[in-house]
Amino acid sequence: MSEKIRISLDAMGGDYGVEVVLPGADLVLQRCPNIEFLLFGDAKVIEPMLEEYPRLKQASVVHHCDVSIGMDEKPSQALRKGRGKSSMWNSIAAVKNSEAHVAVSAGNTGALMAMSKFCLRTMSGIERPAIAAIWPTLRGESIVLDVGATIGADAQQLIDFAILGGAMARSVHGVSQPTVGLLNIGVEEVKGVEEVRTAGKMLRDLSPPNLVYSGFVEGDDIGKGTVDVVVTEGFAGNIALKTAEGTAKQFAGYLRAAMSRTLMAKIGYLFARGAFERLRAKMDPRKVNGGVFLGLNGIVIKSHGGTDAEGFAAAVELAYDMAKNELIKKISDDLANYHRGRFSEAEEN
């Protein structure tokens, strides 16, 4: 994609709104100058702050919105209040109307998903969307989905998630044939709930295009990077995500306490400072900020609501990569090929 990448931003979303959105967008513009921004929100707040970022101001168009969605509002309430009027809704609608390639918001997750589903609708052949997270591993990065959009999933939905995650791995990580595993309580074929076992059999038998099914994986395989894409339903996926985040904070706390406990520990830290800095950078959650709503007729990225400018920039860069690498086209092609394969198999039987 050689044209400018247009990214719509919900400038009022998140815990800090424009105070994070604008400097975050400006950081991305330094690294990726081939971007135009559509900023949705209160123009009286956005425009004075935009004066501090002349490069961003030149690359942006401000669209005034009277309504912003609170972080504690219920999805149904937010939809009634914000449909057609809020900064969140209009940032998504810009994708629907082909004014932007992708939307990014740090706002209320439930409200963002409800508005995204209502505005963009799910892709043909997809019953429910998924939220995909990029997960740091010992081998690099993997993709885990669903991490909270769909509580409970049947076998076909798990297969859909595998196809969606595979297309994302190809777009973000450049893996031509990503490996995919189903999260389970064991790797043996007889273990797990029926829907997971059925999905595993279907993935083995049908072999969806552009991915390699590697069987069941366990929780510790996520951090090992055993596969490129880990597929699960949203309840288990969200618990895994929150557990990993909490464990990382716990480990960082233990490390800080250990390094400051004695004089010798402090001296040792000085000698190993470079290694600790690299470890901290590897564990920095801001580097992998951005949950991707997959399965919709458009790309929406959810940034963590409490992140800073660097973290929001990571979510915007992820959006840029997905638009540049035409994620939606890859998903559409993979779904079409998969359903053609199912149809051919049904005819043969």
**pLDDT exceeds 80 at position 306:** yes
Nearest-angstrom CA–CA distance, 78 and 17: 17
Give the tens place of pLDDT for each residue, 124-143: 889 899 999 998 888 888 99
How are beta strands 130-137 and 291-294 bridged, if at all? antiparallel
Query: Which of 11, 33, 110, 18 is closest to 317 using CA atoms?
Result: 33
**pLDDT exceeds 80 at position 258:** no
Q: Which residues contact residue 318 at a Cβ distance below 8 angstroms, ignoring those fewer than 6 apart?
A: 134, 172, 290, 292, 301
Asked if 332 contacts 326 with a C-beta cutoff of 8 angstroms, the reply is: no
The pLDDT value recorded for residue 3 is 79
The pLDDT value recorded for residue 163 is 92
Please report, in angstroms and rounded to a whole number, the separation of the first and last CA atoms in the chain. 41
At the fourth CATH level, the homologous superfamily of domain 1-126+295-349 is Isopropylmalate Dehydrogenase (3.40.718.10)
Could you give the residue range(s) of every CATH 3.40.718.10 domain in the chain?
1-126+295-349, 130-288
Asked if 30 contacts 49 with a C-beta cutoff of 8 angstroms, the reply is: no
Give the tens place of pLDDT for each residue, 17-55: 999 999 999 999 998 999 999 999 999 999 999 999 999
Q: What integer is the mean pLDDT of 160-173?
A: 92
The pLDDT value recorded for residue 245 is 78
Query: Which of 99, 81, 80 is closest to 40 using CA atoms?
Result: 99
Confidence of residue 284 (pLDDT cuts 50, 70, 90): low
Give the tens place of pLDDT for each residue, 61-106: 999 999 999 998 999 999 998 889 999 999 999 999 999 999 999 9
**pLDDT exceeds 70 at position 240:** yes
The pLDDT value recorded for residue 139 is 87
The CATH code belonging to domain 130-288 is 3.40.718.10
Query: Which of 160, 209, 175, 149 is closest to 344 using CA atoms?
Result: 209
Residue type present at position 229: V
340 or 279: whose pLDDT is higher? 340
**pLDDT exceeds 60 at position 253:** yes
Q: At what angle do helices 263-271 and 234-259 cross, to 10 degrees?
A: 110
Q: At what angle do helices 18-31 and 309-324 cross, to 10 degrees?
A: 50
Q: What's the pTM value of the predicted model, to 2 decimals?
A: 0.87
Asked if 141 contacts 135 with a C-beta cutoff of 8 angstroms, the reply is: yes
